[in-house]
Structure 1
Amino acid sequence: MTQNLIPELRLDAALHTDEPLLDVRHAGVNFKTEHGQVSAVQDISFQLYRGETIAIVGESGSGKSVTARLVMGLLSKRATVSPDTRVKFRGEDILKYSRDKRRLLRGSRISMIFQEPMSSLNPLYSIGTQIAEAIRAHRRVSKSEARKQAIALLAEVRIPDPELRIDQYPHQLSGGQRQRVMIAMALANNPDLLIADEPTTALDVTVQAQILNLLRDLQQKHGMAVVLITHDLTVVRRFSDYVYVMQRGLLQEHNTTAALFEAPQHPYTRHLLGSEPRGRAKPLSDDQPILLEGKNVRVSFGLRSGGFFRPVFHDLVAVDGLSLDLRRHETLGLVGESGSGKTTFGQALTRLISNEGGEIFFDKQPIHNKDRDGMRPLRSRMQVVFQDPFSSLNPRMTVGQIIGEGLVVNNIGANSAERLDRVRAALRDAGLPDNVTNRFPHEFSGGQRQRIAIARAIALEPEFLLLDEPTSALDLSVQAQIIDLLRKLQDEKGLSYLFISHDLKVVRALCHRVIVMQRGQIVEQGSVEEVLSNPKTEYTQRLVRAAFEIA
């Protein structure tokens, strides 16, 4: 690491005549753990000017989010801030503020969008109540006026039917819609500084572009500045003015966005820029038999609005008479915007939820009328890997128990020793050491937890995997590792994948065919090269532009 790559001041500081809105110098944060002190952030300095966006990038564990929480004053009690740390906001060192003064600053002048909206939104209150609370905590407005402003905010962040949605609860919204609610809450009081911690990780590419364009519009309107924490380099290149690269708590390089992408100096920066999904799926022979088939599958949900005494019910058709077929050894991509019905379709095909109409066949066997007990003999042959490995892995169970649970339930293995051998083999197949069976999920990184989830699925030696956004929350370099792992497992074990994703770069690298969904319907399908290189519908063209083109 050469010292001239990490000067204390920005390389373009001479071009700015005004003082920085946010000026952080020599930031250091340590955490007390049972194994001693851990340095999460070491001697970090950065500046942010009004009306601009800086990006802080790096892999999981690099210290990006800890840096953001230092600015917000949201570090845990186990954290110790270095005495040399200075955090100046509008010329004042806010680390010297009292707790009450710091609290008043949060949510009014400085706001933050967190990565996981389901953990940040209260499941007991409607989204309208939560947005109104954010408004009334800092401004004297009536409940009716706060509700009116909340509806306007939902409309501004592109939530459909905001008048109906405002009385819904977080669990009734899709992941992308929940994230938009979080953004609406953060923008409620027109802050001077918005810290966005992976704000678009759960969003599809078109909504991602809409949200980031919205943030840019608000910047221009109010002079708001943004700290963007992300691992998506396409987003960084498109929307940031200046980039800071972090690794293991250290700042490795910083420069203007154009200069850094054109000529990265540090090996780690070059590694990040070279980690985007690459390669293509191996050609599939035409004589492969169909493993999973759906014919005219339909799923709908009832929505409720109105008051307690006069409720109004609406039917939302999530999957509207759709059909697909998946061949053995094939990877079929299912793409579309958040709320398009792709996850619902995938769960209906695997009988995780019930379908109202249509037929579903697995290995030529009808399964659309089977109940839970009827599906049990087939569960070992069809497995699921979910989007968020931390919420899908039981935190109270060891890795060995998590992977071995399916073996016990399905009576696989003659005894505990044989099952342990299969658990260890699954860990090795998933690219993990086989001596971690006594460790717990929280002891692993996000990428390692996703490998554990994959190991749990392949331990049963299935023929089919439903992969529901398995790489969306992962860093680019970890994404590339998981893609390589899935390719390797498919080659070695002859697996078939139904791959649900909004990341078209990953779909292009992994899938043979792709189905594009919009509002519960299929709008286009074909080979990956055909659909992504020459999209026929305006909707698919919009998805492809948002995913691959740098504005």
Structure 2
Amino acid sequence: MTDDLRYDTAPPERRDRAEKEGAPLIDARNVAVDIKVEDGTVNAVRDVSFQLYSGETIAIVGESGSGKSVTARTVMGLLPKRASVGKGSTINYNGEDVLKFSERQRRDMRGSRISMIFQEPMSSLNPIYTIGSQIIEAIQTHRRMSRKKAEEETIALLRQVQIPEPEARLKQYPHQLSGGQRQRVMIAMALANKPDVLIADEPTTALDVTVQAQILGLIRELQRDLGMAVILITHDLTVVRHFSDYVYVMSEGVVREHNTTEALFENPSHPYTRKLLSSEPTGEANPMPEGSRPILEGQDVRVAFTLRSGGFFKAHFSELVAVDNLSITLRKQETLGLVGESGSGKTTFGQALMRLIHADDGRVLFDERNIESLTREQLRPLRSRMQVVFQDPFSSLNPRMTVGQIIEEGLIVNDIGKTGKDRDERVRDALVSSGLPGSITHRFPHEFSGGQRQRIAIARAIALEPEFILLDEPTSALDLSVQAQIIELLRRLQTERGLSYLFISHDLKVVRALCHRVCVMQHGRIVEQGPVQAVLDNPQTDYTKRLVKAAFEVAA
């Protein structure tokens, strides 16, 4: 038997089956899912089997596109219309095959008995309803309860998941919260009805390192109190090691290896598993050229928002200062990191520097030109020179356009490329540079995994050949092995094209590998800044020390 055949797929039964009592809560066997696309059929999941017992946590890990999320959505019955489940597939929950449930049975099951936290909160939360109304609806759909009582439970849930001022948040809309805060709202909604099984699809992707441990600890605490079982889908192997009992490793729609967490980390048998375990952001930023002049400057930038609370006739208004008179300087071919917890003002500051939102005070200079006073028409010629990669790729990619159209749109608007053929070559080159095949130009964003969509967003920015890129959590949705590829890509592009990056992130491991300098933000202010190695190796403030400890010393 060759190594390739030997390591093809893992056996359907768990290795610790003899140590378990009773039947599994979920027993999935031979699950196969095919998805039709324009040029054929994608075998998204092939012959996947797994077992989940009451009160435990199993982790499904693998790179983007490995089939992790498709497997979870099959359990929930949330596959796209183009998807079909194999005839031999079974998913038994409490002795019943959920694949044979009627639509009404599936609706009754979702949110009450089996609940799911999705990877991208902005596409899961309804933008026209307040946070409070959405969580209250989730509670009242499955339990007979007065609105007042449901509202009290909602406030308690928001407080549990570390949302500040939960009473005020009830009246706010998803777009008024940071990415991390939206993810915490999704977690609160999923836990509202105390489900038997919680499927957590990258539950801490958008969360900063300090809150990540708190949220996972909260899920574990509820798990102990309620006897809840958890399916954890993630690419963060540090989280897997500390919070799961059993691990399934997937690639190309197949389970390659599974074992108890301790055994798998101590003695991985499959080459793919060993590759995953050895993947971690490494290295450091390329040296900057001597005498690099500033390309972007922010001088005393201030951004404030007005918050409204109370009823229609007794409204109360308060001011939230998101960016409090901040000043930074970014030089050519430099990568400056902005780090801090969710809600610290990182993204707001970055968007103000890009003129994507209005600053209440201060000046922004791009290539020594004051862009704060420019009109939209005057700013347009500069847009191709300054690009942005957003945190949530699904909400920033037009779902009605193909990948090729999305990337080519910027080339057309900025009159880049002499002919359609020339633009097509630029699009394909950008995709290949971002780690994607050039043949996917005719496919739509929803046909890709979260990590693949983020790479499409990076390709869109690269295609315009800018001088400055704002990177807002560009690696948050990527698995570790792809993170390393993207970091190396950004380093190479910086050297070849003289790019400057403003890198917003809560992942200090990536910041250490990519940035020259780092600014630490808290409550709209910069509390510490300096060379990245100096700040991370010898933090001076208690806040920075807490961030560094949470990033490099994750504790269960």
The answer for the alignment partner of 1:258 in structure 2 is 262
1:135 aligns with 2:139: yes
Q: In 2, distance between residues paired with 1:10 and 1:92? A: 20
1:187 aligns with 2:191: yes
The answer for the alignment partner of 1:222 in structure 2 is 226
Residue 527 of structure 1 and its aligned partner are, at CA, apart by: 1.2
Paired positions, count: 551
The answer for the alignment partner of 1:479 in structure 2 is 483
For 1:163-182, list aligned pairs within 5 A. Answer: 163-182=167-186
1:145 aligns with 2:168: no
Tell me the SS of whatever aligns to 1:545. helix
AA aligned opposite 1:491: T
1:292 aligns with 2:269: no
Match 2:49 to one of 41, 45, 68 = 45
* Cα 1:128/1:40, change in 2 over 3 Å: same
TM-score, structure 2 as length reference: 0.92
AA aligned opposite 2:206: A
Residue 278 of structure 1 and its aligned partner are, at CA, apart by: 1.6
The answer for the alignment partner of 1:322 in structure 2 is 326
CA contact (8 A) 2:7 2:256 kept: no
1:311 aligns with 2:279: no
Query: Could you give the per-residue CA deviations for residues 416-435 of structure 1, whole angstroms, max 9, x where no partner exists?
Result: 66656655665565566667
CA contact (8 A) 1:51 1:224 kept: yes
Residue 330 of structure 1 and its aligned partner are, at CA, apart by: 0.6
Name the Cα RMSD after superposition.
2.5
AA aligned opposite 2:256: Q
Residue 86 of structure 1 and its aligned partner are, at CA, apart by: 3.0
* Cα 1:448/1:44, change in 2 over 3 Å: closer
Tell me the SS of whatever aligns to 2:142. coil
CA contact (8 A) 2:390 2:473 kept: yes
1:546 aligns with 2:550: yes
The answer for the alignment partner of 2:501 in structure 1 is 497
Match 2:119 to one of 115, 118, 138 = 115
Residue 253 of structure 1 and its aligned partner are, at CA, apart by: 0.3
The answer for the alignment partner of 1:203 in structure 2 is 207
Tell me the SS of whatever aligns to 1:473. coil
* Cα 1:407/1:101, change in 2 over 3 Å: closer
Q: In 2, distance between residues paired with 1:550 and 1:476? A: 16
The answer for the alignment partner of 1:535 in structure 2 is 539
1:12 aligns with 2:16: yes
* Cα 1:91/1:478, change in 2 over 3 Å: same
Q: In 1, distance between residues paired with 2:510 and 2:353? A: 22
Residue 203 of structure 1 and its aligned partner are, at CA, apart by: 1.4
* Cα 1:429/1:3, change in 2 over 3 Å: closer
The answer for the alignment partner of 1:363 in structure 2 is 367
* Cα 1:509/1:91, change in 2 over 3 Å: same
* Cα 1:454/1:83, change in 2 over 3 Å: closer
Q: In 2, distance between residues paired with 1:24 and 1:493? A: 50
For 1:11-160, list aligned pairs within 5 A. Answer: 11-160=15-164
Residue 348 of structure 1 and its aligned partner are, at CA, apart by: 1.0
Query: Could you give the per-residue CA deviations for residues 109-155 of structure 1, whole angstroms, max 9, x where no partner exists?
Result: 21111111122212222111111111111211111111111111111
Residue 51 of structure 1 and its aligned partner are, at CA, apart by: 1.7
Query: Could you give the per-residue CA deviations for residues 382-422 of structure 1, whole angstroms, max 9, x where no partner exists?
Result: 22122233432334445554444334434455666665665
- Percent identical residues: 70
More moved, 401-410 vs 128-137: 401-410
CA contact (8 A) 1:403 1:456 kept: yes
CA contact (8 A) 1:204 1:337 kept: yes
Q: In 1, distance between residues paired with 2:48 and 2:299? A: 56
1:467 aligns with 2:499: no
1:244 aligns with 2:220: no
More moved, 488-497 vs 101-110: 101-110
* Cα 1:310/1:192, change in 2 over 3 Å: same
Query: Could you give the per-residue CA deviations for residues 249-300 of structure 1, whole angstroms, max 9, x where no partner exists?
Result: 2110001111111211111111212222121112335522222111211101
Q: In 1, distance between residues paired with 2:404 and 2:42? A: 27
In structure 2, list runs of 5 or more residues that go unmatched: none
1:384 aligns with 2:388: yes
CA contact (8 A) 2:289 2:333 kept: no
Q: In 1, distance between residues paired with 2:219 and 2:496? A: 45
In structure 1, list runs of 5 or more residues that go unmatched: none
The answer for the alignment partner of 1:354 in structure 2 is 358
* Cα 1:40/1:448, change in 2 over 3 Å: closer
More moved, 320-329 vs 301-310: 301-310
Residue 313 of structure 1 and its aligned partner are, at CA, apart by: 1.3
Tell me the SS of whatever aligns to 2:59. strand
CA contact (8 A) 1:237 1:550 kept: no
Query: Could you give the per-residue CA deviations for residues 297-323 of structure 1, whole angstroms, max 9, x where no partner exists?
Result: 110111111112222111110000111
* Cα 1:457/1:137, change in 2 over 3 Å: closer
Residue 327 of structure 1 and its aligned partner are, at CA, apart by: 1.2
* Cα 1:223/1:444, change in 2 over 3 Å: closer
Q: In 2, distance between residues paired with 1:424 and 1:98? A: 43
Query: Could you give the per-residue CA deviations for residues 440-488 of structure 1, whole angstroms, max 9, x where no partner exists?
Result: 5556665554444334333443221111111111222222221111111
The answer for the alignment partner of 1:334 in structure 2 is 338
Query: Could you give the per-residue CA deviations for residues 525-551 of structure 1, whole angstroms, max 9, x where no partner exists?
Result: 111111112222222222222222242
The answer for the alignment partner of 2:306 in structure 1 is 302
* Cα 1:166/1:4, change in 2 over 3 Å: same
CA contact (8 A) 1:277 1:509 kept: yes
CA contact (8 A) 2:65 2:452 kept: no
CA contact (8 A) 1:489 1:495 kept: yes
Residue 100 of structure 1 and its aligned partner are, at CA, apart by: 3.0
* Cα 1:455/1:92, change in 2 over 3 Å: closer
